[in-house]
Each structure stands twice: as C-alpha cells, then as structure tokens.
Amino acid sequence: MSNSTYEGWVVVFESGTDYEADLVRGRLDDAGLPAIVLTQRDHAFNLTIGDLAQVRVLVQPEHVEGAIQLLVTIPLSDERERDWKYDRAINASVIGGLILQILGGALLSTRALLLGTVLLIIGLSFVARRKGHDWKWGFMGLLSIIGLLVVAALRDRLPEENQAVPSQEAATWKCRACGEDIEDSYETCWKCGTDRND
C-alpha cells in the first residue's frame, strides 16, 4: 500500500468494509494515535470494485510509524469479524422484512407481506437475544415498525462483555532520543525509530 495523503493526513490502512476500517481506527485511537476514516463508498449501491469501494484509515504524519507498527504487530480479531457478519445478517433480516411488509401492503401482495413479517420476526428475535432478552420478543415483528422500535428500545442485559472496559495503564519505557513514553511491548520508539537498548 502506498502512503497516500489527504489534506495532510496519511493513509495507513485500506479496506473494502467500513467495519474493518472502524476496528482499525478504534485500535489506533486506543493506542493514543488519533485516526480518521475516509470513505468514498456509495452505500446506496454497495460498490465493491474500483477506487470508490475503498475505505481508508488516516493518521497525522507524525503518527505514521507508530500506526504501522501497531497494525503489523496486532492482527484483527476473527471473533469480531464473525460478530460483524452475524450483525449484518440480523440487519438484513430486519430491513428486508420491513421493506417486504411495506411493499406487500402497498401492492396488496399477501405473500410479500407474510414473508416480510416472518423475516422481521426472525430478525427481531436475534436482536432481542443479542441484548440478553427472550427470543419471543421477536413476535413484536407482527406490529411492523412499532415492534422494531419496541425491540430497539430494550435495555441491554448482557454482562460486562458488551460494556466498555476501562483502560489500564500499561508499563512504559522512555525513549532516550525523543523522550516519548513507549509501551513495554515495543522494542522500538514509534515516534523516532530508536531501539529501546540504544
């Protein structure tokens, strides 16, 4: 990947999905490296080819080395990728169900209305389970958009795994060349490139 620049920010990661770029931006932000996501994707048509399909993560020039080092040493989690695909399937079921319900009602198509209701019930059941509630909340899909709003308003009952974990201070060492504090897990200063033992 070439390090393209946009208005003074440097590209350190490119992806075809917003989700993956958001994961990377979050990881960089957690490490104290401010990052932004630049997307030119056409979400209406979901293009997956060409320059308009790319989602980019950018950092300020002084943070490029640290960002690249962080991204090389810690790969993206497969578990988060599975969660994202699961969430996407749920969203497709809920949105598809609503669209079919609306079209079925507008076109007086009983099949479309029934299929939309079934998809919405299935999707809302998974949403409720994801929030720690009984799957029977999915039957709110019989109420169409009202049911969606009710299930969306359910409180998240899942324990700490979905809650943000307060960050713990990592052990650090001070770079002799530039004075930057570096996490113990790194042997090289992300700012100036000086080795720990120099």
The predicted-structure confidence for 110-157, as pLDDT tens digits, reads as follows 999 999 999 999 999 988 888 888 889 999 999 999 998 999 898 887
Residue 77 and residue 46: Cα distance in Å, rounded?
24
Distance CA 37, CA 183 (A): 25
Measured distance between the N- and C-terminal CA atoms of the chain, rounded to whole angstroms: 30
> What's this model's pTM, rounded to 2 decimal places?
0.44
Q: Is 177 within a domain?
A: yes
Q: Which domain holds residue 9?
A: 5-76
- Same domain (yes/no): 187, 140: no
**Domain limit, last residue, from 56, 76, 96:** 76
Q: Is residue 160 part of a domain?
A: no
Half-sphere CA count of 90, side-chain side, radius 13 A: 17
Both tokens of 161, joined, read 């795994």
Regions of the chain with pLDDT less than 50? 1, 47, 160-167
- Antiparallel, parallel or unpaired: β 5-6 and 9-15: antiparallel
70 and 89 share one domain:
no
> Looking at residue 99, what is its pLDDT?
92
Same domain, 37 and 89: no
What confidence score (pLDDT) does residue 14 get? 83
**Is 158 part of any domain?**
no
Burial 31-65 (b: 16+ CB within 10 A, else e): bebebebbbebeeeeeeeeeeebbbbbbbeeebbb
pLDDT of residue 112: 92
Residue 115 is predicted with a pLDDT of 93
The pLDDT of residue 197 is 80
If one counts the domains in the chain, the total is: 3
Do both 181 and 146 map to the same domain? Answer: no
**CA-CA-CA-CA dihedral for 39, 63, 164, 184, to nearest 10:** 150
